A and B are shown apart, each in its own frame.
Chain A
Amino acid sequence: MIVSLLFGTGLALASPLTEGVERWEEGDLAAAVEAWSSVVDEGVPSWETHYNLGVARYRQGDLALALAHWREATHRAPRREEPSHNLAVVRAELGLGGRVVAEPWWLRLATANEWLGLGAFTTALGGLGGWLAHSFSRRVWPWMAGAILGLVFLAAGYVGDWQMSAYPGAVVLVEDCALRLEPDVEAPTGKTLGVGAEVGVLERFRGFVLVESSEGLTGYVPASSLAIVGDHSGWERRLRGS
């Protein structure tokens, strides 16, 4: 909890959800969406903001955006039940099937920052404990084992963070998004992905993204047609701009 407070939500700005919630309660859905969406201009949106935006988009009938926001929410708060539940619901409604390109399994237990914090704490504690135990002629190996466990946690944090930034998941936001052979709008096309399809990002290149579909097919799609998990500011700003 302490670690989580230090490295995660505890560093939150005093920017409550209230404005959007008030608009929601007044029944002004568009204003609520605007209030929550504007958060991306001010800082890093919390999981609650993404979650609420997902509910609002779902209500507006935009299932792909709802899916994208809930994936963002689960990315930030993997242990919360609400976004996971809503994800299952919207995936069932979209009915696209196939394998979901998801984050590493350990990031479903804790965020990369939480792993880093836990790893740093455990490693430091084990290392310092080892020094003290050695100085007082006590057994050192339990502390060393703790420190090594901490290194494993650190590795989980660093690797998870790298993997989510290098190979994140993404959601297709536009209809009939064709996989292209080359990063070019005139390149030959292959399979067409439906709106809401979940893909894995393999590479970004000149405004195009090389993605892997749930069936294992790869191809280039325009970056503007995707919501990339972890890149909230990119696609949310783009959508608001459009």
Chain B
Amino acid sequence: MVGAWFWRWAFILIGLSVPSLAHAQVVQLTVVSPDLEVGDVGLVRVRVQGPRPTAPPVISTDPPQGLRLAFYGQSQQVRVVNGQSARSFEYNYRVEALAEGTYRLGPAVVEFGTRSESTRPGTLRVRPRSGGSSAEVEASSVLSVEQAWTGQVVLLQRRLRSKSRILRDSWTEPVLRNLDRVRGTQPRFVEYQVDNNGQRTFVREESYPLMVAPGEEAEISATVARVGIRSQSGSLSAFSVGRSKQVIVPLDAYRIKVRDLPSPPPQFSGLVGDFSIQVKVDKTAARVGDSVNQEILIQGDGDLVGFEPAAMPSSDKFRVYEGTPAISSRVDGDGFKAEGMYSRVIVPTKAGRLSIPDYTFVYFSPTKGEYVKEVVSFTDIEVGAGASKNGAFESFMSDTDALSVDGVPSESLDEGVRPIQTAGVASTVPEPMWLRWAGWLATLPLVSFVLVRVGPSVWGVAGRAVSRLFRRQAAEESINGLLRALPEDRVERLGALERVLRRVIAALTELESTGAIDGAQVQAAREVRARLDRARFAEVDDPTLEQDIRSLASQLERLT
């Protein structure tokens, strides 16, 4: 027999085990929308019951391409069971279907400090888009070349074409393999219309520069374009005039072949592209200590970021101070364009003829498929002796140690830097407030001249044009104007006759109120109006109706 002590202890043990059950660790992956079409966005959720994970769970996908999974947010719930709190955490992931297929999602790995737990995997099926929406929008996402060299800059070109006006578009960013974005270059956006025998096509194009990385193949993954177009069958939007609808266009992955560069020659700059080089020296004659600016301009379709020409070493005849390169790049109608301006200051330290060494520039040309070597020469500079002035310190002389400036020993001055200013003022007064307004005040004579002298003629011309426009509109809307331009279409013609008759009745009623006519004419006009309404709304044929309205209009004209 089981004694009472047994049940007492059993209850105690069960009571103690309930809180521990509430603390039991559960990790679970749920594919909230397991059946999607290409371009659809679904939700995947990982639920963790127990202690807080140290980081959002990581979910793998198999195959890895074709889905875009992104952490979307998390939430936390606290439940109290038998006085003990139990927490659960939900991690949400946005999953975007980019390509058709059946995917395994997970297992999701949840980390709790030094240990981790895995969920069971889930399955997601992606079907092709139904409805054939791509007929309304034609989209492409390709690279500008079919094969490229390592280091070459290529363009990712996206194009949308539609018979309807394109209002907006957004693209799922593709995964790039062996392609790197070129930094500091804005993409190019172009929007235009093609008119083909009255049939308009709206085109929107974007171009992004990408640099090809080493590898056998470069790839942009499958992607999806979401395009908002003007459509009569679409829905009304607060943000656009008229009706619009969204069209989803899936795009397949795109690959190009990548070729490795051949073994580089000496002095290879590392640049890949077709370049031109120009050099300039701002002086052909200078004195010792003068600054001679040398500029090297390199332009081409390769990326110049990080490139600097080989430094020119100083010699006993001159010192060289390398400047800061100015690099810019852009994408235009002809493709990617980069420009680098490399400047340096050369300071002659000895009189005589100064020969600047040639500059050798070696780069790889993708169009030629080989390395190109360019050697540019600089004009010699005639260097005269330095100027002697009181207080001036030509700091680039090699024998300046014995010089002094206003008592300051030359060794206290740093070579290469111009000396201090000994004359001048230390401070200026703060800028007066009225100075900002002085510019506007200065425009008063011009503004008054335009308003008073030029204005009246402009206003006069504009006023006459507006007046003509109003007169023409009034004439078109007058009784005779309306009768002269009656439309052919029956419904529209009856509508125009109604406008005529309304004006006639209004005019006759006014005449009746002044006693110029009796009420019979107004009554006759109203009877014609009743026939007109029958003809319009009951579609009764009334062959004399138009003639009667014209007669009433003629009578009115005679009376007035």
| Residues of chain A having any CB pair with chain B under 8 Å | 7-9, 11-17, 19-21, 24-25, 27, 29, 36, 39, 42-46, 48-49, 51-52, 55-56, 58-59, 81-82, 85-86, 88-93, 95-100, 113, 116-117, 119-121, 123-124, 126-128, 130-131, 134, 144, 147, 150-151, 154, 157-158, 214-216
- Is B14 at the interface (CB under 8 A from chain A)? no
> What's the Cα separation between A131 and B124 when bound, in Å?
80
Check if A11 sits within 8 Å of B429, measured CB to CB.
Answer: yes
> Which residues on the A side are within 8 Å of B325 (C-beta)?
97-99
Known: A11-B428, A89-B345, A97-B325. A124 touches B414 (CB 8 A): no
Residues B341-368 near A (CB distance < 8 A): 344-345
Check if B439 sits within 8 Å of A157, measured CB to CB.
Answer: yes
Chain B positions 308 through 347: 1 when the CB is less than 8 Å from some CB of chain A, otherwise 0: 1000000000000111111110000000000000001100
Contact of A58 among B324, B406, B414, B446 (CB under 8 A): B414
Known: A27-B408, A99-B325. A86 touches B418 (CB 8 A): yes
> Min CB distance, B303 to chain A, in Å?
13
Chain B positions 427 through 452: 1 when the CB is less than 8 Å from some CB of chain A, otherwise 0: 11111000110110111111111000
Chain B positions 415 through 433: 1 when the CB is less than 8 Å from some CB of chain A, otherwise 0: 0111111111111111100
> What's the Cα separation between A24 and B412 when bound, in Å?
10
**Quick one: closest A residue to B418, CB to CB?**
A82
Residues B181-231 near A (CB distance < 8 A): 183-184
Check if B443 sits within 8 Å of A46, measured CB to CB.
Answer: no
> Min CB distance, A37 to chain B, in Å?
11
Check if A119 sits within 8 Å of B439, measured CB to CB.
Answer: yes
Check if B326 sits within 8 Å of A99, measured CB to CB.
Answer: yes
> Which residues on the B side are within 8 Å of A9 (C-beta)?
425, 428
Q: Count how many chain B residues have C-beta atoms less than 8 Å from C-beta atoms of the other chain.
A: 52
Check if B421 sits within 8 Å of A215, measured CB to CB.
Answer: no
Check if A99 sits within 8 Å of B324, measured CB to CB.
Answer: yes
A-B contact pairs, 30 of them (CB 8 A): A7-B435, A12-B425, A17-B422, A17-B426, A21-B422, A25-B407, A25-B408, A39-B427, A42-B427, A45-B428, A51-B421, A52-B421, A55-B417, A92-B344, A100-B326, A113-B431, A116-B436, A123-B445, A123-B446, A124-B442, A126-B445, A127-B446, A127-B447, A127-B448, A128-B445, A150-B442, A150-B446, A157-B439, A158-B439, A215-B183
Other A-B pairs, 20, CB within 8 Å; known A44-B427, A86-B418, A88-B291: A12-B429, A13-B427, A19-B426, A24-B420, A27-B409, A43-B429, A46-B424, A55-B417, A59-B412, A89-B416, A92-B322, A92-B344, A99-B325, A116-B436, A120-B442, A123-B445, A126-B445, A127-B446, A150-B442, A151-B446
Check if B291 sits within 8 Å of A85, measured CB to CB.
Answer: yes
> Min CB distance, A190 to chain B, in Å?
13
Check if B421 sits within 8 Å of A48, measured CB to CB.
Answer: yes
| Residues of chain B having any CB pair with chain A under 8 Å | 183-184, 291, 305, 308, 321-328, 344-345, 406-409, 412-414, 416-431, 435-436, 438-439, 441-449, 453
Known: A46-B427, A48-B424, A124-B442. A58 touches B323 (CB 8 A): no
Check if B424 sits within 8 Å of A97, measured CB to CB.
Answer: no
Check if B449 sits within 8 Å of A12, measured CB to CB.
Answer: no
Contact of A119 among B409, B420, B442 (CB under 8 A): B442
